[in-house]
Amino acid sequence: MKDRAASIGTKERLLRAGEQLFRTRGYAGASLKQLTQAAGAPWGSAYHFFPDGKEQLGVEVVRQAGDFYGDGWRESFDRADGPGDAIERVFRAEARILEASDYRNGCPVASVTLDTASTSEALRSACASAFEVWLRAIEGGLRKAGASDGEATALAGFVLSAIEGAIVLSRAAKSPAPLLQSAAFVREVVDRRAEDWRAARANPVQTESSERG
């Protein structure tokens, strides 16, 4: 039988330890030795499950993070009271994560991007895909609220940029202020549009871009 501590599966534990370490120390700063230790896995297991080494592990960590937090975005849009509320909730959730971890647990995808975008096409591409998953989740939430395709795409890029940057600033400052400040302004932009979308739905007369104030 398998025995102690392996109830989750070694590969899964390695992936989780990888995500955690990439969050706190970046990709380059996280060694496989630390990683296997944190996962409670023997050294050889890393190369058993990821024969192509650290890069492969990194790619899979990023992909998993993309899926996981993509679900988080979708859930937030499902649960919340309108797109502005959904987005603000994610900002606030992120602020809580940062505070609870003493501002260590940043975004693993951003960390991997900055460490590897210039040196590993495989990792850069994995990060691009993970961001793409999140962008589409946000985009979907906005479209469901009435945004046109193009507007949803552009807004999603803005929303994700704002939260990713705010995480960086919050970590440096060890303060939730950048996240909360950004949340308010992003929400303002989204809410204003959401109102237009509601109006356009209620009265589908005008072609596009109702009036400008």
Interface residue list for a second copy (CB under 8 A): 24-29, 103-104, 106, 109-111, 113-119, 124, 127-128, 131-132, 153-155, 157-158, 160-169, 171-174, 177-179, 181-182, 184-186, 188-189, 213
Q: How far apart are CA 157 and CA 147, in angstroms?
A: 14
Least Å distance, CB 193 to a second copy, is: 10
190, 91 Cβ separation under 8 angstroms: no
How many CB atoms lie under 10 A from the CB of residue 157?
A: 14
For 2, 31, 143, 145, 146, the CA distances from 5, given in Å and listed in that order, are 9, 22, 44, 45, 48
Least Å distance, CB 182 to a second copy, is: 5
Stretch 119-158: interaction string toward DNA, x if CB under 7 A: ----------------------------------------
40, 5 Cβ separation under 8 angstroms: yes
Report the residue number, 24 or 64, with the smaller CB distance to a second copy.
Answer: 24
133, 73 Cβ separation under 8 angstroms: no
Taking each helix axis from N to C end, the angle separating 83-100 and 121-144, rounded to the nearest 10 degrees, works out to: 140
Least Å distance, CB 36 to DNA, is: 8
Q: How far apart are CA 188 and CA 175, in angstroms?
A: 22
Stretch 12-51: interaction string toward DNA, x if CB under 7 A: ------------------xxxxx------xxxxx-xxx-x
The yes or no reply on residue 2 touching DNA (CB under 7 A) is yes
Name the site residues for DNA (rule: CB under 7 A): 1-3, 6, 10, 30-34, 41-45, 47-49, 51, 53-55
